[in-house]
Amino acid sequence: MTDTSYHSGGNEDLPRTVRQQKEARARDQAAREILNPPRSSASSPRAASSMANQLAGEYRGSEFAVAQSPPGEYPRATVSRLQLPFLHMVGFFLKAVVAAIPALILLMLILWGVGQIAKHFLPWLVQMKIDITFPR
């Protein structure tokens, strides 16, 4: 029985994007090893070059581009235009407003409770109190 957990290096339980990134890193590492062989290696530069070209062909054939930036750095990107239909944007904001109503009610209840606790334990903080009464 094989262990396919994340810590053992198995790929079956990983999400697809994580698995693809892991495979891309492995291909990058293999390409670096091919292009920069260890000094003690007796292989010729032509063999390394042909293997690098073969590996580059595999990269071009894959559906995912390999980042050329060093590890830890992200390529710079600029968004120049966003095409979004107006009615879709209006619908999104209406949904956001409706979704915010329960959060506002909850926030109001939390702040009211904090005020009641402060009024009970710290009565000297109450400077002014406005009572609204209705005559009978």
Has residue 129 got a pLDDT over 50? yes
Q: Which helix (H) or strand (E) holds 50?
A: helix 45-61
Q: Buried b / exposed e across 107-128, counting CB within 10 Å, b at 16+?
A: eeeeeeeeeeeeeeeeeeeeee
Interaxial angle between packed helices 16-35 and 45-61, expressed in degrees from 0 to 180 and rounded to the nearest 10: 160
How far separated are the first and last CA of the chain, in Å rounded?
81
pLDDT digits (tens, 9 = 90+) for 40-56: 544 555 665 666 666 55
Q: Which sequence spans correspond to the domains of the chain? A: 1-72, 86-125
Residue 6's pLDDT band, with cuts at 50, 70 and 90, is very low
For 73-114, how does the pLDDT look when each residue is reduced to its tens digit (9 = 90+)? 777 788 888 888 999 999 999 999 999 999 999 999 999 999
pLDDT beyond 60 at 69: no
Measured between alpha carbons, how far is residue 81 from residues 71, 78, 84, 90 in Å?
A: 29, 9, 10, 18
Q: Could you tell me the two tokens for 118?
A: 């402060």
pLDDT of res. 91 = 96
